[in-house]
Chain A
Amino acid sequence: MTIITNNNLKCTIAQAALQNVLDPEIGLNVVDLGLIYQIDFDETNLKIYVAMTLTTQFCPMGESISNAVKRALENTFTDMEVQLEITFDPPWSHERISDEGQIFLNQ
C-alpha cells in the first residue's frame, strides 16, 4: 500500500483524516484498504488532487465513499479545494491492503 505524493508531511495528515472514512460493507478505512493511489498538493492554486479506486467497478457504495473522501480532506485542509478522480487503471487488488488491514480482514 503505497500512496504517491509530492508532499510527504501533508500526505501523512491527509491519511490520518482518511482513516475515518470506512468502506461501509467491509468496515475498513480507505487507506488500509489501499483505495487511495495518489494525493498531490498544488500550493499555488490551493488544490488537492486525489486519485483513488474502489474494490469493484460496480460498487453501489462508490459515490458515497468518494464523496466521504472529498469531505474528509476538505474538512482537514479548509483552505484547499479537492479534485477527486476515480480510476480502475490499475484495478484494485488485495495486495494493496495494508498489514493492519490484512489482520482486520483475517479476524
Chain B
Amino acid sequence: MFDANQSNSLVKNTTHKVVLPFYFYAALSFLLATILLFFSTNAFTQHYFHPQVLAITHIMALGWGTMIILGASHQLVPVLIEGKLYSNGLAYASFVLAAVGIPLLVYGFYFFNLGWPAQWGGILINAAIISYVVNLAISMIKSKHENVHAVFVFTAALWLLLTTVIGLLLLYNFTATIFPKDSLHYLPLHAHFGIIGWLLLLVMGVGSRLIPMFLISKYSNTKLLWTIYGLINGGLILLLLLFVFSNDTAFYFIPAIAVFLAIALFGYYCYSSYGQRIRKKVDEQMKVSLLSVSMMLLPLIFLFIIIGWLMAGKSNPQLVLTYGFIVFYGWITAIIFGMTFKTLPFIVWNRAYHLKAGVGKTPNPNNLFSSRVFNAMAVAYLAGFVLFIAGVLLSSTLVLQIATLFLLMTAVLYNWNVIKLLFHKSTML
C-alpha cells in the first residue's frame, strides 16, 4: 500500500555549528550599526554619499542582512534543493572570510580610508561569496532535484556575486582609474543589484517555500513563481542596459514597474497561502513576516518619486536617504525579525532536544525565547522606524536622535532574545 522507496527522502539538516555563528554575527552587526546610527544622526541631514552613511549601509547590507541570510540559507539549502549541503568546510570558510572582511570594509568607509583596509575587506568579502556560490552550485548539481525555489536562491547568489565584484571595482576606482566616471555614478547599479537581485530575489525564493510550509497551507503555484522570477531578472537586465546605453531617466520607470508587478504577484502568492492555511492561528513571527511582504512596496513608492524628481532634472538626497533607510531598516529588518524567531528556535530546539523528543515532554520551539521581549522589540522598532523617516524628511536632528534611541532599544532587545536562544540549555517539562 505504501511506497517504501521514499523512506530515504528525509531532509538532511545542516549542522547547527555551521549556521549559528552567522546568526550571532548578524545580531551583533545590527547592534553595532544601530550604535553608529545613534552617534551619526547629523550625517542623515546631509548628502547620502557620506562616510558614516556608507559605513552604516554596508554593516546593514552585509553584516546584518547578508550574514543572517547566508546562515539561514545554509540551513535551508537542504529544504530548498531536496538534498544536502555539499560542504560544511566551504560554509565555515564563507563565514570566516566575510566576518573578517566586513569590519575592514566598514572601517575604511567610516574613516574614509579607501586604501588597503577597505580593499582587503572587499577582497575577503568576494572570496566569502565565491565560497558560498560554489557550495550552493555543487549542492544543487549533486541533488539532481530542480525546483523553482532553488533556482531563485542560486540566481540571487549570482546577483550577490556581481554586486560585490562591482563594489570592489568601485572601491579601486577611488584610488585608480577603473571606470570612465567616478564611483558615485555607478552607485545606483551596485545598490539595486544588491537590493533587488540578491535580497529581494532570495527572500521571495525562500519565502515562497517557507510561508506556505509554516502556515500549513495547501496553496502552490509554480507558474506564478516563474513569472515573478522573469519580471525581477528581466527588470534588472533592463536596468543594466538602460544604464549603459541610455541617458533618459524616464525609461527607468520600466524596470521599476516590472519589480512592482513582481512584488504585487508575490503579495498575491502570500495572500493565497494565507487564505488556504489549515492552521487558523498565526503566530506573531509569521504576522511580522507577512507584514514585511507588504513593506516591500514602501521603498518602491519612494523609488518612483525619486525617478520623478530625476526626470524633472532635480535631485533630493533626503528622499534617497529615506529610500535606503526603508530598504535596510524597514523591509529587510522586518523580514529578519520575523524569520529569525521562526527559524532560530527550530535550529536550537533540534540541537537541544533531537535525542529527547518522544521520551518525555519537551518545550515548544516558541518557548525558547521571550515573546514579551519580542513584542516590546516590535513596538520599539515601529516607533523608531516611523520617527526616523520623519527625522530625515524634516532634516531634524532631535527627531532623529529620539528615533535612534528607539532603534537602539530594538537592537538590544533583539540581541537579548538571540543570546537567550543561542545559550539555551535543554530542560524537560
**Residue B223 at the A interface, CB < 8 A?**
no
Given the interface pairs A57-B9, A60-B78, the reply to whether A37 lies near B2 with Cβ below 8 Å is: yes
Interface string of A20-36 (1 = CB under 8 A from B): 11101111000000000
**Residue A47 at the B interface, CB < 8 A?**
no
Q: Are B6 and A60 in contact (CB under 8 A)?
A: no
In the bound assembly, the distance between CA atoms of A97 and B209 in angstroms comes to 22
In the bound assembly, the distance between CA atoms of A105 and B280 in angstroms comes to 6
Q: Are B10 and A62 in contact (CB under 8 A)?
A: yes
In the bound assembly, the distance between CA atoms of A21 and B354 in angstroms comes to 12
**Residue B40 at the A interface, CB < 8 A?**
no
Q: Are B357 and A59 in contact (CB under 8 A)?
A: no
B13 contacts which chain A residues (CB < 8 A)? 60, 63
Interface of B is mostly: loop
Interface string of A92-107 (1 = CB under 8 A from B): 0010010000000111
Given the interface pairs A20-B361, A24-B365, A107-B280, the reply to whether A60 lies near B11 with Cβ below 8 Å is: yes
Q: Are A97 and B214 in contact (CB under 8 A)?
A: no
**Residue A39 at the B interface, CB < 8 A?**
no
B3 contacts which chain A residues (CB < 8 A)? 87-89
A59 contacts which chain B residues (CB < 8 A)? 11, 213
A interface bracket (residues with beta carbon within 8 Å of B): 35 or more
B75 contacts which chain A residues (CB < 8 A)? 60
Q: Are A38 and B359 in contact (CB under 8 A)?
A: no
**Residue B346 at the A interface, CB < 8 A?**
yes
In the bound assembly, the distance between CA atoms of A63 and B218 in angstroms comes to 22
Q: Are B358 and A20 in contact (CB under 8 A)?
A: yes
Interface string of B179-218 (1 = CB under 8 A from A): 0000000000000000000000000000001000110101
Question: Which of A24, A26, A94 is the one whose CB lies under 8 Å from B346?
Answer: A24
Interface string of A59-95 (1 = CB under 8 A from B): 1111111111111100100000000011111000010
Question: Which of B4, B357, B361 is the one whose CB lies under 8 Å from A67?
Answer: B357
**Residue A4 at the B interface, CB < 8 A?**
yes
* B79 to A, closest residue via Cβ: A58
* A24 to B, closest residue via Cβ: B365
In the bound assembly, the distance between CA atoms of A38 and B4 in angstroms comes to 12
**Residue A1 at the B interface, CB < 8 A?**
no
* A64 to B, closest residue via Cβ: B354
Q: Are B357 and A85 in contact (CB under 8 A)?
A: no
**Residue B350 at the A interface, CB < 8 A?**
yes
B365 contacts which chain A residues (CB < 8 A)? 24-25
B79 contacts which chain A residues (CB < 8 A)? 58, 60
Determine how close the nearest CB of chain A comes to the CB of B421; give it in whole angstroms.
14
B175 contacts which chain A residues (CB < 8 A)? none
In the bound assembly, the distance between CA atoms of A105 and B216 in angstroms comes to 10
**Number of B residues with CB within 8 Å of any CB on chain A:** 40
Question: Which of A22, A38, A67 is the one whose CB lies under 8 Å from B354?
Answer: A67
A62 contacts which chain B residues (CB < 8 A)? 10-11
In the bound assembly, the distance between CA atoms of A59 and B280 in angstroms comes to 20
Question: Which of B6, B209, B355 is the one whose CB lies under 8 Å from A88?
Answer: B6
Q: Are B216 and A55 in contact (CB under 8 A)?
A: yes
B78-133: which residues lie under 8 A (CB-CB) from chain A? 78-80, 82
In the bound assembly, the distance between CA atoms of A97 and B353 in angstroms comes to 25
Question: Which of A21, A25, A85, A88 is the one whose CB lies under 8 Å from B358?
Answer: A21
Q: Are B364 and A105 in contact (CB under 8 A)?
A: no
**Residue B229 at the A interface, CB < 8 A?**
no
A66 contacts which chain B residues (CB < 8 A)? 10
Q: Are A72 and B358 in contact (CB under 8 A)?
A: yes
Given the interface pairs A25-B365, A60-B11, A75-B359, the reply to whether A97 lies near B1 with Cβ below 8 Å is: no
Determine how close the nearest CB of chain A comes to the CB of B395; give it in whole angstroms.
46
List residues of A whose CB falls within 8 A of some B CB. Answer: 4, 20-22, 24-27, 37-38, 51, 55-72, 75, 85-89, 94, 97, 105-107
List residues of B whose CB falls within 8 A of some A CB. Answer: 1-4, 6-7, 9-13, 75-76, 78-80, 82, 209, 213-214, 216, 218, 278-281, 346, 349-350, 353-355, 357-362, 364-365
16 A-B pairs with CB atoms under 8 Å apart are A21-B358, A24-B349, A25-B214, A26-B216, A58-B80, A58-B82, A60-B78, A63-B11, A63-B354, A67-B358, A69-B358, A85-B2, A86-B6, A86-B10, A87-B7, A106-B280
